[in-house]
Structure 1
Amino acid sequence: MKRKCMILILITSLLLVSCSNYKELNSVSIVVAMGVDYIPKDNQYNMVLQIINPSAIASVTGSIGTPVIALEQKGRTISEAARNITKSVSRSNIYSHVALVVIGEKLAKEKTLNYIFDVFERDSKIRVNIPVVIARNDSVYHVMNNLPALDKLPAKSMVGKIKNTSSLLGENQEIQMRQVISALSSSGREPVINGAILEHETKTSETLDNFSTVKSSYNKIEGLGVIKKGRLVGWLDGGPAKSVQIIDNVIKETNLQIKCSKDEYDSMELTRVKTDTKVKMKGKIPIIHIKVKSIAIIDEVLCNDNFDKANTLKKYEVLSEKAIKQTLDEGIKKAQGYGADIFGFGDKLHLSDPKVFKKYEKNWNDQFQKAKVKIDVDVQINNVGMRKKAYPF
């Protein structure tokens, strides 16, 4: 009997015990995006937090207000700036749902990102598998807090745009904070970070009135920021930006414009793009050999060519191979101009020949600037769409 009583007391105790660190939902604020910039004249960091407004995103009729609330404060460190925000909010901030981090261009240029990302990786409350972007030619606050017409949450909108353009255009890729940290820690690769800008900015960009106009303002993914030794040193746009994704083997599909006359272009869709890269040292010069294979589909014809003929297809295969080679060549030369191996050629040499790479890892970027590159491209057209002959012009 005594034993039964003890068991009953034990079970009752377990049922009555609750979590000591739980928090009620109405006592917390959920942070969905964070922005960090640098103010040189104050030598301080500016922190912007984007917090969900529960009353505005409720599904029931009668929701009021903007879907997010933006708060900002300054501090001598990022941690101090974040804690200073507590003066402006009545609830404790929860950072486990942060979906996006925005870095100011001034911060990326003037302060090393090696220390900026330290606070994110060191703090267990923040995940590092989230996208990071640089606010290009604009303030972090403006780029973050434009209210999009299609999505309620600005952070969700920007993350969706990164995924969309990465899948279809290929000038950007889904770059997460952990990838940037890994590249910053590597001696054989420098990171790249997606840029973001605000288009058609108006006085109503941060209000619900932005929904009520056809030509509303919107944030846009624009270019790749080149990082060298933790600092932003320049930007890649268009073809040179696409070269990073091709060499990284992350292109899902993309598009090529093939000049078919003096003023006209035909369009080709590239799928199944596979790249193999070999790096070796010859003397003190890196020799880089890049092989690209791809399947192509003709998706737009503005010249009167007959794709029913084998020689026409062959002509376009050769033209597309030259176009891809030019894209890669331009991208590599621009990166060499910046003195930043953003393609990870050093990492590839390290994997294939660790002893040789050890000799050059301390000044690998200098070696990369001297590198000689050979590019081989093989494109096969296996589809011309629903028509073989163009409309008569």
Structure 2
Amino acid sequence: MKTYRMLVVLLLVAPLVLTGCWNSRELTDLAIVVGIGIDKGVKENTYKVSFQIVNPGAIAMGKQGGGGGGQAMPVTVYAGVDNSLFSALRKSTQKVPRQLFFSHIQLIVIGEELAKDGIKETFDLFDRSHELRINTPVVIARGIDAETALSIVTPLENMPSVGIAKRIEFSSGEYAQNVDVDVADVVKRLAGPGEIAISGVEIVGDAEPGQSRKNTERTVLPASIEMKGIALFKDGKLKTWADGKAARGMLWVKNEMKGTAMDIACDGQPEKVTIELTYSYTDVSVEMRNGRPAYRIHVSEEGSVTEIHCPIDLENRDKIFQLQNEWANQTEQEIRKAIELAQKEKTDVFGFGDELNRKYPTLWKRLERNWADTFADASVEIEVEAYIRRTGMRTKSYL
């Protein structure tokens, strides 16, 4: 009987301590932000913050196959200007009829002009906020402002921010001329040794028609967003861009090479053999020589022959070895291009300082102050081992 009474008391008291959904927010009251763009304001020491908001009704109509000339855009871009990012976001609420909701952000775009001025203070808000995610991808709008980059409407993805984020993922894994960097990576580099490298995006074509639905109504797009190069920073400021082979070489050094396609000279002839890289691993080590750090980069890579444009017999092992050597030499050249560019700009985007700190912490404390100059003069040895594992469905081409 006593146990029964205690149970009744607990059942009566329990509802009093339950808070319920005290902080709930109705979906119809929220403006879901999927992309943020940050530009330099017109006035000194101001920011222009753009944000891409989902139009749920338009997204739903698109999935149902609805259409017509009067169909609404899937996203809307608003912007606010103020002395801080947070103030600019709050100020922009004067334009938006709903409460901004940031937990579903897919992309952060930094305008090139702001990147040149410096981004050291830009990411404090993202690192501090409980709602903004630190695993959000970051890109630099190359030759354009961030607001324009967020305003380009593209096919296949209703939300441009999602489309750009997926481009980063697929392009870095398939062609390897851009890096996949998020807020956490940027903050880590801003707070510690080493410098930042961030992928760039640019608009190809005419940006004005690209901001309307007409951009998705043609087989050849008036405007499109493409990944373009890697921005190299020094002291939080954009110094230069790495493009093409230098950009790809950076991924080898950073051990971020997932896959790419390379055209290799065929038996000394101008015709090419295309090799698809399927595996790569890079080991970076350091030792001291005559009081200076000397780095050794060892790359081991594997791949398959996917296309040939010359009469080469792939059943001949000597020809395979020759292709492997050509491939290794070309990989070494691209890595060398990346290192020479970084050393010229005195920006350690590879994290060589981290490696020196791990192995020689006492020495690092002495070299850290002038690390940019030390990095620029460091010797780097490159060794590449390349292995062709497969030749496709045919060894002897009809050529």
Amino acid at match of 1:128: I
Which residue of the partner structure matches residue 348 of structure 1?
355
Which residue of the partner structure matches residue 13 of structure 2?
10
In percent, how many aligned pairs have the same letter? 30
Which residue of the partner structure matches residue 343 of structure 2?
336
Amino acid at match of 1:258: I
Which residue of the partner structure matches residue 159 of structure 2?
153
Amino acid at match of 1:364: W
User: How far off its partner does 1:354 sit?
Assistant: 1.1
Which residue of the partner structure matches residue 301 of structure 2?
294
User: How far off its partner does 1:11 sit?
Assistant: 3.8
> Residues of 1 paired with 2:126 and 2:99: CA distance?
18
> Residues of 1 paired with 2:208 and 2:355: CA distance?
49
What is the CA deviation profile of residues 249-301 of structure 1, one whole-angstrom value per residue up to 9, with x for unaligned ones? 22122222112355422211122211111112223422011111111211111
Larger mean Cα displacement after TM superposition, 30-39 or 118-127? 118-127
Q: Structure 1 stretches of 5 or more lacking a match?
A: none
Kindly indicate whether the alpha-carbon contact (under 8 Å) linking 2:148 and 2:207 is maintained by their aligned counterparts in 1: no
Q: 1:202 to 1:195 in 2, by over 3 A?
A: closer
Which residue of the partner structure matches residue 286 of structure 2?
279
Which residue of the partner structure matches residue 130 of structure 1?
136
**Aligned 1:89-128 pairs, distance under 5 A:** 89-110=96-117, 112-128=118-134
**Structure-1-length-normalised TM-score:** 0.94
How many corresponding residue pairs? Answer: 389
Match of 1:24 among 26, 35, 42: 26
Larger mean Cα displacement after TM superposition, 101-110 or 374-383? 374-383
Amino acid at match of 2:40: Y
What is the CA deviation profile of residues 174-212 of structure 1, one whole-angstrom value per residue up to 9, with x for unaligned ones? 21110111112222x211001011112253212222111
**Alignment pair present for 1:210 and 2:220:** no
Amino acid at match of 2:197: V
Match of 2:380 among 348, 361, 373: 373
Amino acid at match of 1:34: I
User: How far off its partner does 1:312 sit?
Assistant: 0.9
Kindly indicate whether the alpha-carbon contact (under 8 Å) linking 2:232 and 2:242 is maintained by their aligned counterparts in 1: yes
Match of 1:304 among 300, 308, 311: 311
Kindly indicate whether the alpha-carbon contact (under 8 Å) linking 1:284 and 1:367 is maintained by their aligned counterparts in 2: no
**Alignment pair present for 1:222 and 2:228:** yes
> Residues of 2 paired with 1:125 and 1:202: CA distance?
32
User: How far off its partner does 1:13 sit?
Assistant: 3.5
**Alignment pair present for 1:266 and 2:273:** yes
> Residues of 2 paired with 1:166 and 1:2: CA distance?
66
User: How far off its partner does 1:32 sit?
Assistant: 0.6
> Residues of 2 paired with 1:264 and 1:318: CA distance?
16
> Residues of 1 paired with 2:6 and 2:334: CA distance?
79
Which residue of the partner structure matches residue 387 of structure 1?
394
> Residues of 1 paired with 2:359 and 2:91: CA distance?
49
> Residues of 1 paired with 2:200 and 2:95: CA distance?
29
What is the CA deviation profile of residues 223-259 of structure 1, one whole-angstrom value per residue up to 9, with x for unaligned ones? 1100110000001011111122112222122222112
Amino acid at match of 2:88: A
**Alignment pair present for 1:242 and 2:245:** no
> Residues of 1 paired with 2:179 and 2:289: CA distance?
32
What is the CA deviation profile of residues 323-364 of structure 1, one whole-angstrom value per residue up to 9, with x for unaligned ones? 011011110000001110111111011112211212111221
> Residues of 2 paired with 1:106 and 1:138: CA distance?
8
> Residues of 1 paired with 2:6 and 2:328: CA distance?
82
> Residues of 2 paired with 1:314 and 1:359: CA distance?
45
> Residues of 1 paired with 2:237 and 2:98: CA distance?
35
User: How far off its partner does 1:61 sit?
Assistant: 5.9
**Alignment pair present for 1:192 and 2:170:** no
Kindly indicate whether the alpha-carbon contact (under 8 Å) linking 2:179 and 2:230 is maintained by their aligned counterparts in 1: no
